A and B are shown apart, each in its own frame.
Chain A
Amino acid sequence: EAQVTQNPRYLITVTGKKLTVTCSQNMNHEYMSWYRQDPGLGLRQIYYSMNVEVTDKGDVPEGYKVSRKEKRNFPLILESPSPNQTSLYFCASSFSWTAGDEQFFGPGTRLTVL
């Protein structure tokens, strides 16, 4: 089944404790991205990647890191989480950036930083 998976689905952590949210897709998509969703603000893009080893900042990159060492994986790293990073996070992928292809979303990761 074609899908985007994220782990963990729920995470409660404390300020300053490094964490990684994994994202994996099995559709051989080139383009992957991370979003956060907050009430009243909709989805905002954190980082995106057009292909392996090619990443760039979205609208709200501060406090986050990403890497794209393999085509299928795009982990989101919070080196020192803070309470304002409490949010619902989504990973998405599409075949390519330039073709304007349909985006597929993961199920979301609900993060709480105390």
Chain B
Amino acid sequence: KQEVTQIPAALSVPEGENLVLNCSFTDSAIYNLQWFRQDPGKGLTSLLLIQSSQREQTSGRLNASLDKSSGRSTLYIAASQPGDSATYLCAVNDMRFGAGTRLTVKP
């Protein structure tokens, strides 16, 4: 059974810092990995979708990488802003989610 882990559970950084969020999975036979953002009490907003044949995807200040052989994905956020404060979740194969990393960017 696929297990998805996100470490750390919470992260606090000062504004302007570059940061990396981690997502690891136990079964490398995946067909996609998706990163989401969730604001408190709200739904999930898709940030980036990486197909199994891809190594990375970029959108603005966000870059997500995928290494299937090591069972890892990272979400890189450049020049963080207070508006980036949210919980970030990764999901494997559209159905297996990590518990998320709660990010706080302090002004």
Contact = CB atoms under 8 A, between A and B. Distances in A.
A90 B89 CA distance: 14
B97 interface: yes
Contacts of B95: 33, 45, 48, 58
Nearest to B96: A45
Given A43-B89, A100-B32, A103-B34, A90 B44 contact: yes
Among the interface residues A41, A44, A92, which one has the most CB atoms of the partner chain B within 10 A? A92
Contacts of B98: 42
A40 B49 contact: no
Nearest to A97: B94
B58 interface: no
Contacts of A31: 94
A104 interface: yes
A102 B49 contact: yes
A92 B94 CA distance: 10
B93 A100 contact: yes
Interface string A28-68: 00010101000011111100100000000010000000000
Given A33-B95, A97-B94, A90 B51 contact: no
- Contact-residue size bin, chain A (C-beta under 8 Å from the other chain): 20 to 34
Contacts of B94: 31, 33, 94, 97, 100-101, 103
Interface stretch (A13-21, A69-77, A105-113): A105-113
A53 to B, nearest CB: 20
A32 B42 CA distance: 19
B30 to A, nearest CB: 9
Contacts of A94: 94
B52 interface: yes
Contacts of A90: 43-44
B77 interface: no
A25 B96 CA distance: 21
Contact of A42 (B34, B43, B100): B100
